[in-house]
Amino acid sequence: MQSISTILSLGAIFLSLLTSSGNTAAVNRPSILPRSNGVAAHNAFVDTGPLPILEIGFKHIIGQIGSNATATGNVSLPANIRELFETSKSKPLQERDAPAQCGPGQPCVDGSCCNSEGKCGYTSYNCGSSSTVKCLSNCNAKAMCGVDSLNAAQDCPLNLCCSYFGYCGATNLYCVNSATAQSANLCQQGYGSCQVAPQPSCDASAGTASRGRKVGYYQSSNLQRQCNRVGPQDIDTTGLSHMIFAFASIDPNSFQIVPLQTSDPALYAQFTARRTETLRTWIGVGGYSFSDPGPTHSTWSNMVSSSGNRATFINSLLNFMTQYGFQGIDLDWEFPGVASRGGQPSDTANFVSLVQEMRVAFGSRYGISIALPPDFASLENFNPSAMAPSIDFFNFMSYDLHGPWEAPILGANVRSQSSVIDISSDLLPLWFDNVPPSKLNFGIAYYGRGYTLQNPGCANVGCPYTGPSAQGTCTDSAGVLSLREIEVTIQQKGLVPKLLSDEMIKQISWGNQWIGYDDADTINLKANWADQHCFGGMVFWSLDLTGVGTGDSPIVPTPDNTCSSTRSCVSSSFGPCCSAHGFCGSDAAHCSVNNGCQVTLGTCNTGKHVLAVGMEIVVQPMGGVAVGINIVELDVRDCLEFVVEKISNKGLEG
């Protein structure tokens, strides 16, 4: 059994990455809550999470070629394509499982046409009717790409190959194989690439990822957990190059950046105080829930829709970072172009414009990063290659790849949320888009996803489940355990984790519970894999999920005026703030972070001495025109730097 201290030490993880030999062979993503996505042209989403649309399309193609094809289906194929799939080279495809894909009352999961032979797709065989086969449902569906797409005008996003069947993909099933003469019609020319993109390859000993950037998110919302609350001052920063505070918000009316919670500015002060010469502290904006139905549902899309709105946001961001001391911004838009997430088709181009304009305004003073989703249904609405020159790096969220939200569509069978096999496939579109791997950070989840097994005797990937696993004591969310909760469970129950080497994950099970997760061992394996694929760094969601913080026991309201690791001042009649000395109160001595207010045990404020709010300083250059500079709330310490920066931005001298 592994010890908690060994597993949970961030320092140990990062040091092990730095000293990794890089000899492991290669093996062929910010919220804990599941993400949701969709696309307008084809149905690739469910209400609560993403679907692997490229994988679904692959299975639909396999279901109607080679030995899986019916007599009518074979006749419908061009002769050269039919011959291609009858060759010995295609035998592995023929042997794949191809269960009935649809039928009466059971439409195709991706919204494609279902015919009477149970085959899903977009060709006339699927969508038309003849004497031998007819379409049953979704008969007007349009293909993802090619001649059967809307107005025969849809290209594959990110330059993927458009197959004969109207599905976008990244392998020889979709792309021309120049060595095979019969494949001439396999890829539809003019709707994307028709060549498989090469995957980047590096010598693992170079350590591009394992010795590159180390970026960690920090969730301020962790201070609302029942236990394991981790304040900014408690974060283990060993080995980190960047920390990102998750998240700030955007006012849906003014497009000004604002704190997500009124208590956040006090945390900003503690968070940015952790920066050093080698550790930069950034602010993250947005997040998954920001685009939920509600006041900010369409804020991202509305903000980027005009140059004026973008300029307002950028100027506000400059003021915000100066005021609070942040050194960069992470844009976490989940997701542009997705109607169910408040998006519209113009988001893709407008997002590129925003990033380019930010870089012009920031110069080299502030950093920019972008969170990239792994599922193609969301990723297709980004234009990463166009944004890459303007940003420092992308944070690729290579987790939440599977979860209970898939059960109604893909079946209730255990799948790991961060298998490197799936990650490798999910990265293929980025290689088609020519995204520099040096700009990518490989995502690691500091939490596991779990299931309640249908049969405790079947406790492995692929086994059936009845629902998500039981919630943890601290995170209190079904289907999720923090890394800290996982290690406490291992210790308390005497469990022996099992390494799934092909997937590069660990699993544990007890009773009817199953959890898949990453720890120091699998992080090293994945870092080595990332080294072999030339990644520029690693990113971790999120640092607070590994910490002991206030302890493993739930915090309760204090019955008196004292506060401690198990007693909170929230709702205390003495006041909501816990002082440095462990007493509840409401004055500056208790509530100011400058006086040691304990952010994990109540509310705190900055305690700043405000110089000015809404004041305007008028700068009159010698022989020039007076220029007004609007001042937001500032601490005396920040004022001089703020005014100097504003003067510089306006091109004033003297």
- Per-residue pLDDT band at 232 (split at 50, 70, 90): very high
| 343/225 same-domain check | yes
pLDDT tens per residue across span 40-90: 233 343 445 677 889 899 999 988 888 788 888 877 887 777 666 654 333
| 220/294 same-domain check | yes
Decide: 521 and 426 in contact? Cβ < 8 Å: no
Task: Classify residue 639: in a domain, yes or no.
Answer: yes
Q: 107-121: b or e for each residue (b if 16 or more CB lie within 10 Å)?
A: bbbbbbbbbebbbbb
Which parts of 287-392 are beta strand (E)? 328-332, 367-372
| 241/380 same-domain check | yes
Percent of the chain with pLDDT over 90: 72
Task: Classify residue 610: in a domain, yes or no.
Answer: no
| 119/262 same-domain check | no
At 36 the pLDDT is 27
| 83/25 same-domain check | no
Decide: 536 and 393 in contact? Cβ < 8 Å: yes
- Segments in 337-441 forming alpha helices (H): 347-362, 376-379, 384-387, 407-410, 420-432
pLDDT tens per residue across span 557-600: 899 999 998 899 988 899 999 999 999 999 999 999 889 999 99
| 65/152 same-domain check | yes
Q: Which of helix, strand or coil describes residue 96? A: coil
pLDDT tens per residue across span 303-360: 999 999 999 999 999 999 999 999 999 999 999 999 999 999 999 999 999 999 999 9
pLDDT tens per residue across span 5-33: 334 455 555 555 654 444 333 322 333 43
Task: Classify residue 492: in a domain, yes or no.
Answer: no
| 278/154 same-domain check | no
| 390/538 same-domain check | yes
| 532/422 same-domain check | yes
| 422/288 same-domain check | yes
* From 262-276, 391-405, 596-610, 615-629, the region with the lowest mean pLDDT: 615-629
Task: Classify residue 507: in a domain, yes or no.
Answer: no
Residues in the chain: 654
At 72 the pLDDT is 86
At 172 the pLDDT is 87
Task: Classify residue 194: in a domain, yes or no.
Answer: no
pLDDT tens per residue across span 118-141: 999 999 999 999 999 999 999 999
Mean pLDDT of 512-535: 99
Higher pLDDT, 264 or 635: 264
| 344/242 same-domain check | yes
At 99 the pLDDT is 53
Sign of the alpha-carbon torsion through 486, 489, 491, 495: negative
Task: Classify residue 488: in a domain, yes or no.
Answer: no
Last residue of a domain, one of 124, 155, 185: 185
Residue numbers of the domain that contains 591: 556-601
Task: Tally Cβ neighbours within 10 Å of residue 640.
Answer: 10
At 52 the pLDDT is 85
The rounded radius of gyration (Å) of the Cα atoms in the chain is: 27
CATH, residue 323: 3.20.20.80
* Domain count across the chain: 4
Mean pLDDT taken over the chain: 86
| 227/142 same-domain check | no
The owner of tokens 């969508």 is 127
Task: Classify residue 80: in a domain, yes or no.
Answer: yes
pTM confidence score? 0.84
- The DSSP secondary structure of 489-527, one letter per residue, reads HHHHHT---EEETTTTEEEEEETTEEEEE--HHHHHHHH
Mean pLDDT of 631-635: 44
φ, ψ at 373 (rounded to 5°): -80, 155
Task: Classify residue 74: in a domain, yes or no.
Answer: yes
Plot region of 66 (φ>0 → left; ψ -120 to 50 → alpha; else → beta): left
